[in-house]
Chains A and B, each alone.
Chain A
């Protein structure tokens, strides 16, 4: 288990991170979301030891991360970085060797990952001659060549074409299935929702929510229901039922307060007119995220955030 335990970091007068805590389990893909400047990159840099935390600790399998453990992490920095004038293959072999692989192991691993990520034909080219998308694939190779025990990827999907996104997703899933905790940040929430087992939302340096998408949905306890059929105003006056949205074509969305029986609501709707559709609305992560960040930013000052 990768444990990020109450890490704080201050840059000058700005509190970049305030007691950020969460954990990523082996075999889990963890999505790290938050607006720009919320603290995602700072957190990842601290995990990698590129930055030192003011307080708090990062642990892997129970022991604090030291230089030797760090070497076994695969890292993709937000600021992509490779030697522009070095050939792809040489560069990857060099990075693998810095992580402790022998020459032969490095060569085999580079061949494997370059093939998997579709840059096998470019290993003899200088990095600067590759398109940005291909450079990104090479960057992911660089994070994978030493067969890391933990993967930390800062925005691995930004700037990728749809094919590359598919390849990248499947690689991350495979790594997770082989028992590696994978943590990545992204602004593509639909992708995060699809790919991640659990999600952490960070806002203004504080974790405001951690959990699976389903858990995030159930966080506030209310239930949303889409109803198609009964005339407008059918829900008016029903206790614990709030009309969230309505259109002119007989469609409405209502929020049920905690404890309200949906069967009672269905009966009320039937009483008002024919019901063609009555179903639970599961808000996508985009919507959950908006709610969490908005309410989280307001609550952050006094609420202790539950971390898994």
Chain B
């Protein structure tokens, strides 16, 4: 009555169980909601901080009121929203104390004083310093009989680029950020789930029953494919929601670039997931209890965190950074760095393909080693299995 199953059927059966069990679990829905909340919270917070730091209120006394035109002009040049309020010295100090004013400019020519509560915002300070200097300079020039406007015209510096500046650069940076954040969370989250699943089977001892009828690699492959599919589902849901949200809010006006980035994220998620999931499964199989798991997966999280942090720090100011360019080809780093470089328009499709092929080669090697570790460790309970034992050939 029982017909032999092909290995593919076994792997699919296992994968289906993993997928269904995960998608139905409360943690999947909760995880999705939490990620969405965190995500929109992060975006809102970013927007709020942006607005906050760019809008300043400065109090001017009667003696410093003459600086107002210069201040407003340079504020416009530096994209700071400056509100100027005329106050007398006494009221101004009270308003700084109450937080109504970011700072008060008081004193008089030759003895200006910029008064803040416990610190003065550095940009505001720079703005006022420049305005005071310019005021002084203009006065001195006029006294010396030089026309300030003429001087300005002669000292003008034109800025130009060989390639036309990309008007969508800001959005592309945003896309790259959202993309690598999604990638990071998906890879670390679902990689961790693979390790937890392996330990769960080991801890509950169900693995012995399973391995009495199917082979270790089939169980491992099914688990990785099933959980990888759940991760992919979550990635798609989050991408669609954030894409739709950003479009609705008017933040996203470059649908082609967004779709391109989405495809990149999916491809690199798959490449990164197989690489990391195999590693997570291997280390998971060396321990017997969930409590021991954290210590062995910590190095993996670092491995994922390094390119993530590097990308967030290096690329916004310097998309052509040399270190990032090198890392974008190295497996274990490429899944984060390369899609970001691609989104910023500094990596060609050809480079992406090269990095993808390198990642595929790494997957083949890592999956083999991880499979061996898994096979050698998964039935051994009790003390943690050392890596040397796990990699040795005998089972």
Contact = CB atoms under 8 A, between A and B. Distances in A.
Interface in A248-270: none
A95 B13 contact: no
Contact of A81 (B13, B21, B208, B395): B208
B2 A79 contact: no
B205 to A, nearest CB: 3
B204 interface: yes
B17 A50 contact: no
A100 B13 CA distance: 10
A50 B212 contact: yes
B17 A77 contact: no
A49 B214 CA distance: 10
A82 B214 CA distance: 15
Contact of B1 (A48, A68, A73, A101): A101
Contacts of B212: 48-50, 70, 73, 75, 77
A52 B216 CA distance: 14
Given A50-B379, A67-B215, A94-B13, A100 B3 contact: yes
B206 A98 contact: no
Interface string A55-70: 0000000000001101
Given A49-B212, A73-B212, A142-B209, A99 B204 contact: no
Nearest to B219: A98
Interface residues of A, number: 33
Nearest to A48: B212
Contacts of B17: 94
B2 A100 contact: yes
Contacts of B204: 81-84
B211 interface: yes
Interface residues of B, number: 28
Contacts of A51: 379
A226 interface: no
B4 interface: yes
Where chain A touches its partner, the secondary structure class is loop
B209 A75 contact: yes
A70 B13 CA distance: 18
Interface string A145-166: 0110000000000000000000
Contacts of A94: 13, 17
A98 B13 contact: yes
Nearest to A139: B209
B240 interface: no
Contacts of B200: 83-84
Nearest to B394: A52
A34 to B, nearest CB: 20
Given A50-B379, A147-B1, A147-B2, A99 B213 contact: yes
Given A81-B206, A83-B206, A98-B210, A52 B2 contact: no
A68 B14 CA distance: 18
B21 A77 contact: no
Interface string B159-194: 000000000000000000000000000000000000
A12 B232 CA distance: 44
Contacts of A97: 13
Interface of A: 45, 48-52, 67-68, 70-73, 75, 77, 79-86, 94-95, 97-101, 105, 142, 146-147
10 contacts: A48-B212, A50-B208, A75-B209, A80-B205, A81-B207, A83-B206, A84-B200, A99-B2, A99-B213, A100-B2
Interface of B: 1-5, 10, 13-14, 17, 21, 25, 200-201, 204-215, 379, 381, 395
